[in-house]
């Protein structure tokens, strides 16, 4: 089965059996997949989810100049900020979660590093909460661990599988949508989802889903286009179901050479 993503790992949740693997131990930038870690440590901190957070000018992305529909000065509950960071992958929302973390940004960073160690993610480095930095790097193998951990949080499962939400922004009701079009799509039973995109990371996806009664986790890293990421996910779902409903184990031939990602001053939004 040809797969467009540079790194792929598909694991059967109930048994831990690897169903599909391609470059799963290659460390690459992970873009907004980072936000699952941000959400976990915020929830671990037991910070008040109803407490108001005011979006600050320091939350604005000056690295990639990505857009946000959350204006500086907007005041939202921490719960709504978490919703925007996970479901809509809003970078200002994620930045504000780290800035308002109990003990401040340094305590946030320490909590992230402690969580990485606790989960045994030995090939993972996370320097900031949004994933905009290419220094946030991991492997598909480590990210399956992160997905498994994140799925233990009811709040993260709920938010990442919401198709849309209406949030009050400065007295105006604004509709936000999930960055993963497969959430809520016909034929998909998704239990956890997070997309990612930066120029360095390409198109990324973490998803837990059910197919033909089987629960599986997939990690796709560095697909060159959104269409390639979607096609990989569709092919994987069919593969997991199998023609006779039995999952099969498959090894994908991995290319050893990899083109270095081009750097550019013009970056689209990290999704």
Helix (H, G, I), strand (E, B) or coil at 31: helix
Q: Choose the catalytic residue: 32, 66, 68, 151.
A: 32
Active site residue 32: yes
For the chain, report the end-to-end CA distance as a whole number of angstroms: 27
Alpha carbons 112 and 27: distance in angstroms, whole number: 18
Active site residue 89: yes
Q: Choose the catalytic residue: 35, 64, 115, 194.
A: 35
Q: Choose the catalytic residue: 89, 96, 133, 211.
A: 89
Alpha carbons 192 and 1: distance in angstroms, whole number: 24
Question: For 65, left (φ over 0), alpha (ψ -120 to 50), or beta?
Answer: left
Neighbours of 80 (CB within 10 A): 22
Place of tokens 């959350």: 70
Q: Which residues of 1-22 are buried (b: 16+ CB within 10 A; e: fewer)?
A: eebbbbbbbbbbbeeeebbbbb
Active site residue 194: no
Alpha carbons 93 and 32: distance in angstroms, whole number: 12
Q: Which residues of 223-248 are buried (b: 16+ CB within 10 A; e: fewer)?
A: beebebbbbbbeebbebbbeeeeebe
Residue 143, C-beta contacts closer than 8 angstroms, at least 6 positions apart = 9, 30, 33, 124, 206, 219, 221
Active-site residues, by number, are 32, 35, 89
């Amino acid at each position: 089965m040809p797969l467009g993503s540079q790194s792929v790992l598909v694991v059967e949740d109930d048994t831990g059996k690897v169903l599909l693997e391609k470059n799963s131990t290659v460390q690459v930038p992970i873009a907004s997949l980072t936000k699952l870690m941000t959400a976990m440590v915020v929830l671990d901190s037991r910070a008040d989810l109803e407490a108001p957070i005011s979006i600050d000018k320091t939350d604005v992305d000056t690295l990639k100049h990505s857009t946000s529909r959350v204006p500086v000065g907007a005041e939202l509950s921490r719960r709504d900020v978490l919703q925007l960071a996970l479901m809509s992958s809003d970078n200002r929302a994620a930045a504000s979660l780290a800035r308002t973390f109990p003990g401040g940004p340094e305590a946030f960073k320490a909590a992230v590093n402690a969580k990485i160690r606790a989960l045994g993610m030995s090939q993972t480095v996370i320097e900031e909460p949004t994933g905009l930095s290419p220094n946030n790097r991991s492997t598909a193998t480590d990210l399956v661990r992160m997905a498994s951990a994140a799925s233990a949080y009811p709040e993260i499962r709920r938010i990442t599988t919401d198709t849309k939400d209406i949030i009050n922004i400065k007295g105006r009701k604004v509709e936000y949508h999930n960055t993963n079009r497969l959430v809520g799509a016909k034929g998909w039973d998704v239990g956890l989802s997070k997309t990612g995109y930066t120029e360095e990371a390409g198109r990324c996806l973490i998803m837990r889903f059910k197919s033909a009664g089987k629960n599986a986790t997939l990690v796709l890293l560095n697909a060159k286009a959104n269409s390639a990421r979607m096609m990989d996910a569709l092919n994987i779902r069919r593969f997991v179901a199998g023609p006779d409903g039995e999952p099969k184990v498959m090894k994908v031939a991995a290319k050893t050479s990899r083109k270095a990602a081009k750097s550019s001053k013009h970056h689209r939004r990290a999704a």
